[in-house]
Amino acid sequence: MLISLKVWNGSPVRCSVAAVSVVGHLLVQVMYLLCGTSLPSIRAAEIVSDSHPIIDTEQGSPHVTPAREALGMISCSEGITASLFASEPLIRNPIAMHVDPSGRIWVAENLSYSAHPPKAPAGMRDSVVVLLDTDDDGQADTRHLFLDNLEGLTSIAVGHGGVWLMCPPRLVFVPDRDGDAVADGAAELILDGFDMPRENYHNFANGLSWGPDGWLYGRCGASCPGEIGAPGASSESRIPLRGGMWRYHPNNGLYESLCHGTTNPWGHDWDTRGECFFINTVNGHFWQMIPGSHLVRPHTIDPNPNVYQPIDFHADHWHFDTGKGWGASRDGNANNFGGGHAHSGGLIVPNDSRWPARLRDRFLTLNFHGRRVNAERLDREGSGFIARHEPDPILFGDPWFRGIDLIGMPDGRIAVLDWSDTGECHEHTGVHRSSGRIYALAGESRMPIRRLCAMESKELARLASADEWTARSARRALVDRFETDPEKVASVQIFRDFLSRSDDVIVRLRSLWALHSLDSLDENEIIELSHDPDASIRTWAVRLLVDFWPLDTVMNQRPRPDHVVSTASLAMLLRLAEQDSSPEVRLAIASSLQRLPISLRPEIAAQLVSHASDASDHNLPLMIWYGLMPLIDTHPQSLVDVFAACRLPITRVLIARSLAERLPHASQYFSALLDRAIKGTDDLQTDLLAGLSEGLRGRHRVIKPDGWDSFRTAVLEAHASLQETFDSLDAVFGDGRAIEELQRLVRDAQAPLETRRMALATLVEIRAPDLKQLCEEMLKVRFVNIAAARGLAIDPDASGATMILKHYGSFHPSDHAALITILVSRPSFAHVLLENIDKEKVPRKDLSALAVRQILSLNDAELSEHLRRVWGDSRESPEGKRAAIATLKATLQNQSLSKADPQAGRGTYAKLCGACHVLYGVGGTLGPDLTGSSRHNLDYLLTNMIDPSAVVTADYRMSVVHLTDGRVLGGLISQQSDRSITLRNPTESFVLVRDDIESIRDSGVSIMPEGQLALLSENEIRDLVAYLTSAVQVPLK
């Protein structure tokens, strides 16, 4: 197959490309081949637009701040200087950068990124360029084009005989074995499956860099789920990626999804002891990378229903006011907190005398909206770290500054990549492609640049005691040449000598990583290191022992056959789990549980959970649980044994919850838990009760496990305050006496209304005897009657709806929306509702657009016709919607929003939108936070208001749930397990037992309904738009 490819002199070259057969996948493109001809580089004075014209689509033709002027707008704290390393036309839209051991600066230029939808203008392609500073003045003067004709390029790394490129959905390798920055042959597709959904095109895979262990690391946002494998891999063999960090080993082809969650990681680095930290946007900015961890994710759901509790971020602060929400942190509004919610780039300042002491070993990240560098001090706390905010050392005054990454340079400086644009990742104003900058931050002075690739291997090995950049790069250079290196035996011996004799633990760790990367460390040597007096060495002994053992996927699946664990290795792990005094080491073992055969995990876990000092640790109780999750269904008795030994309350609660969810099938094991708890401490008993309560949420009735009555009696003797909890559980277990007590409580006019409502809700859940009569009685009792309406909806007889609507005026207005949701769950009920609207007994405005959609989902022709008469046509054609958007836009522009009343618009917003959306920190969380959306763009705003299903992520699509009793419910599924799902709609959240579910259907449309503007007058629409586009919160009238 021949393709035409343009290279840096602009001439087309015809190249042969090996065809790649991808089973089950469409080969979208074959990327490139460069010939081995040495072509001249382009000097700065000769810069042209390479092979592609540059097309700016930024609205209004704004003028970018000149690079030198922008440099003068940078404010640095004492001891730091900033200079300009490169700018347009030498570089444009730099998205990533890598420095090779020769000191060459490789930059990924991304010109194909575009406004929504993700389609760049014709001809816009991405490039890989090498920037050289030929006169050593600290500024790039030569641009060498390595590749162009790329699309979607997000990251670059150089090593192992070539250049690695992340071009979602693919990881690509371009060979350059002689290191001359000219490709040697056809590109190789290494991995695919890093899919980028059309509706979310900015959380994609990124961040290629080499770890100290020799693996290639990367990141990915949680809204871009992938199924990763080699091209042509079967779906069964692929490994799910659900946000977080991942890695790939170039020697053996292994891939691992390392941690799962967060929002959009964009920056990471390792400290001098090899601990990896990454930076994130929106839900907490700083995280410790722990293999096997499940992390808090705000906009997606952990796919593993057994996780229960994810680990939160590793900092004691936020860079915005959480009371106002992350979206309110733009435009300087969060400068007092650190600049805002969005972060990119991550780098730990070397512990080097050239840098001010206050910055050494600090983690730096770029605060996107704050246009600054944040500095974090990393303090060890328990098994992990906590980041503490220190004064921001650098501010960027250029309004075009869009910091994208921080990279260490070979002369000791820190490169700051500036995308240079006025937009952001939610790009709706177009893209400015003709600008881009790389600034260089420096301390006292620059270091001389060492051309490491020209050194002998023994010299490189001795650089384990050099500065951080040099030591890392020397190790990479040795790995690259090791297979054919005549000095490899001598190099290995140098590292062995450092490891055994050096007094500097950092040098020892670097030597340990080098030996592992060079495949020169055996099991016996690692086991010996587990006795080392330094905790970091012992931690890395654990990590390297299990480094190539299979790691559980996010769903606890084993990606490949188990490693056969030797007796000596198992003994090492058991000894450290029981005896090691360092929580850091115990965390490494807890993480390694997910690499062990499942049958070996309980014994090691039982030792880990015996350390009461870890009870409040940020990571350990949960990491141990994640390693135990597969035992729920395969070795439940082992969980009982771990529970009995456990001194970590969180882990105990989660074990009890997991077995409770599996009642009655797990009755014998739960009975064993009860027996252990009766003999245990008060804390053990209350933790079991907490887990049981969580595990039985939403269950109608469960066969009472043996030992329950004895446990109940024993606990209540010591904790009489738990009587109500036991009553609720007894109702689930079918205790008639408890049901009668609840019925009396519902009827007790002296009891608090909330208590009466909760008691009735419990009786409705378990379908208690005489329920209909009790519910009819309660229809007159405001705030209790909403639970009564749910109870009457169980019976399909329309008389229930008639009874409910007879008392419509008794319901509090705040319950009307929930009541309408109940009434549209059955065709028989919906008919009665529409009749009452027709007769004006129920206001037409109370029938929301979402309720209309729910009625249509019942698929009843007669009912739909009745709805049309009452409501009107509920759906326009796509052409009609486009026309409506254009008409409304013209009206608003002609009338001028300056005449609008934003205060009145806020009132309309509260009634129409506030139940589902947060704006300025106030509102519901069913839909996305509007504070951070592109609501200032009128096209974006009107499109989402009139045609909300035009672009909708899977996270916000409405599910239609058909129940076995005939009801049909709609909403978002926010949680699910083997036994139940949690369904949310604008008015409530409820748990549905799977046994009661007939089917679940993805509606394919947004949870936000169409037709909402039909309820408003022209002035109300104008005022609402004015409020939604306001830059600051307006006061209520």
In the chain, what are the domain boundaries?
A: 2-442, 878-1028
Structure tokens at 270: 């390792």
**Residue 539 to residue 179: CA distance in whole angstroms:** 35
Per-residue pLDDT, averaged over 566-584, amounts to 98
Query: Any bridge partners for residue 167, and if so which?
Result: 170
* Rounded Cα–Cα distance for residues 72 and 620 (Å): 47
Q: Which residues pair with 81 in a beta bridge?
A: 442
SS3 assignment, position 228: strand
pTM of the full predicted structure?
A: 0.78
In this prediction, residue 391 has a pLDDT band, given cuts at 50, 70 and 90, of: very high
Model confidence band, residue 551 (pLDDT cutoffs 50, 70, 90): very high
How many helices (H) and strands (E) the chain has is answered by 31, 36
Cα–Cα nearest to 175, from 273, 32, 49, 274: 32
DSSP class of residue 522 equals -
Query: Cα–Cα distance between 757 and 749 in angstroms, integer?
Result: 12
What DSSP string runs through 139-171?
S--EEEEEEEEE-S--EEEE-SSEEEEEETTEE
Phi, psi of 689 (to 5 degrees): -65, -40
* 27 pLDDT tier (thresholds 50, 70, 90): very low
Contact between 372 and 397 (Cβ < 8 Å): no
* Coil vs helix vs strand at 1011: coil
Q: Per-residue confidence at 10, pLDDT binned at 50, 70, 90?
A: very low
C-alpha of 765 from chain center: 34
- Stretch 944-962: mean pLDDT: 74
Contact 892, 938 (CB under 8 A): yes
Mean pLDDT of 338-365: 93
| Strand segments (E) across 734-826 | none
pLDDT digits (tens, 9 = 90+) for 631-656: 999 999 999 999 999 999 999 999 99
> Between 930 and 991, where is the model more confident?
991
Segment 899-926 shows an average pLDDT of 78
What is the pLDDT at residue 425?
A: 61
| Average pLDDT of the segment spanning 27-43 | 28
Provide the CATH number for the domain formed by 878-1028 in this structure. Answer: 2.30.30.100
CB 41 within 8 A of CB 132: yes
DSSP H helical ranges for 486-630: 488-501, 505-517, 523-529, 535-545, 567-579, 583-592, 601-608, 620-628
Q: What percent of the chain has pLDDT over 90?
A: 59
Tokens found for residue 76: 């640095």
Separation between Cα atoms, residue 431 and residue 1002, nearest integer Å: 34
Mean pLDDT of 418-447: 85
Q: According to the model, what pLDDT value does residue 336 have?
A: 85
Token pair of 4, please?
A: 């035409």
Tens digit of each residue's pLDDT (9 = 90 or more) over 109-163: 999 887 555 566 777 889 999 999 999 999 999 999 999 889 899 999 999 999 9
Task: State yes or no: pLDDT of 324 exceeds 60.
Answer: yes
Handedness of CA 36, 39, 44, 46 (dihedral sign): negative
User: Which pLDDT does position 103 carry in this prediction?
Assistant: 92
**pLDDT score of 337:** 87
Region 931-937: mean pLDDT is 65
- pLDDT above 50 for 486: yes
Q: How confident is the model at residue 32 (pLDDT cuts 50, 70, 90)?
A: very low
State which amino acid sits at residue 842.
V
Of 615, 572, 613, 618, whose CA–CA distance to 596 is shortest?
Answer: 572
On the question of pLDDT at 709 being above 80, the answer is yes
Residue 1034, pLDDT above cutoff 90: no
Give dist(CA 11, CA 5) in Å, integer. Answer: 8
**Rounded CA separation 924/932 (Å):** 15
Report the C-alpha gap between 549 and 734 in whole angstroms: 47
Answer whether residue 25 shows pLDDT above 50.
Answer: no
- DSSP for 20-49 reads ---TTS-------B--S---PPEEGGG---
Q: Any idea which of 20-24, 388-392, 507-511, 713-717 has the lowest mean pLDDT?
A: 20-24
1009 neighbors 848 (Cβ within 8 angstroms): yes
Is domain 2-442 in CATH 3.40.50.300, yes or no? Answer: no
Domains 2-442 and 878-1028 share a fold: no
Share of the chain above pLDDT 70, in %: 90
Residue type, 362: R
Give the chain's length.
1037
Q: What is the pLDDT of residue 4?
A: 27
In this prediction, residue 422 carries a pLDDT of 83
Distances (CA, A) of 114 to 110, 294, 427, 835: 10, 32, 7, 50
Task: For the chain, give the mean pLDDT.
Answer: 87
Instruction: Kindly tell me the burial class for residue 678, based on how many C-beta atoms sit within 10 Å of its own C-beta (0-12, 13-18, 19 or more).
Output: middle
The whole-number pLDDT of residue 753 equals: 83
Alpha carbon distances (Å) from 814 to 375, 817, 909, 915: 46, 7, 16, 11
Q: Angle at CA 340, nearest 5°, toward 338 and 344?
A: 95
Measured distance CA(153)–CA(112) in Å, rounded: 8
At 643, phi and psi to the nearest 5? Answer: -60, -45
Q: pLDDT confidence of 351, banded at 50, 70, 90?
A: very high
Whether omega for the bond prior to residue 117 falls within 30 degrees of 0, making it cis, is: yes
pLDDT at residue 935 above 80?
A: no
Q: What is the mean pLDDT of residues 866-870?
A: 87
Q: Is the dihedral of CA 365, 367, 373, 375 positive or negative?
A: negative
Of the pLDDT bands very low, low, confident and very high (cuts 50, 70, 90), residue 545 is: very high
Yes or no: say if 249 and 185 are a contact pair by the CB < 8 Å rule. Answer: no
